């Protein structure tokens, strides 16, 4: 793998960050209210070291904004970083929906439903 040429998170980083339930829960908590690392860690039955590793995944993906005030690291969710993943998913959803609609039309033409016989 080559080195990154820009600082924008790659789509792979976003999906990797979102692939773990602990990281998704961290984002949910941070969307409600920004907090410091130790406050966030108290919400999980994990060591501070493990929490820190999860946060690195989220930061690498650009999903976290971290500010430092002395020794206190405040965290907030950066929802803007999800836009490329949302766009990618929307594009593929439209593609699959179009393919499924085409399949449905094909099946309907190939196997027409018998019409109800009218009583005379």
Q: Is residue 34 part of a domain?
A: yes
Higher pLDDT residue, 64 or 6?
A: 64
Q: Is residue 55 part of a domain?
A: yes
Domain hosting 46: range is 11-81
Q: What is the pLDDT of residues 3-22, one digit of tens each?
A: 444 445 688 999 999 999 99
Residue 77 · residue 64 · CB < 8 Å: yes
DSSP secondary structure letters along the chain: -PPPSSSSPPHHHHHHHHTSHHHHHHHHHHHH--EEHHHHHTTSSS-HHHHHHHHHHHHHTT-EEEEEETTEEEEEE-GGGGHHHHHHHHHHHHHHHHHHHHHHHHHHHHSPPPPPPPP-
Q: Is residue 104 part of a domain?
A: no
The per-residue pLDDT for 85 is: 86
Q: What is the pLDDT of residues 43-62, one digit of tens each?
A: 999 999 999 999 999 999 99
CATH number at residue 65: 1.10.10.10
Q: Is residue 57 part of a domain?
A: yes
């Amino acid at each position: 793998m080559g080195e990154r040429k820009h600082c924008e998170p790659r789509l792979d980083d976003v999906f990797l960050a979102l692939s773990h339930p602990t990281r998704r829960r961290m984002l949910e908590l941070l969307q409600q209210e920004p907090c410091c690392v130790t406050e966030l860690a108290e919400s999980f039955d994990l060591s501070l070291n493990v929490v820190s590793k999860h946060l690195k995944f989220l930061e690498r993906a650009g999903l976290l904004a971290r500010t430092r005030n002395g020794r206190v690291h405040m965290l907030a969710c950066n929802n803007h970083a999800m836009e490329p993943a949302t766009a990618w998913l929307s594009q593929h959803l439209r593609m699959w929906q179009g393919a499924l609609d085409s399949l449905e039309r094909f099946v309907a033409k190939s196997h027409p439903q018998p019409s109800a016989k009218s009583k005379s």
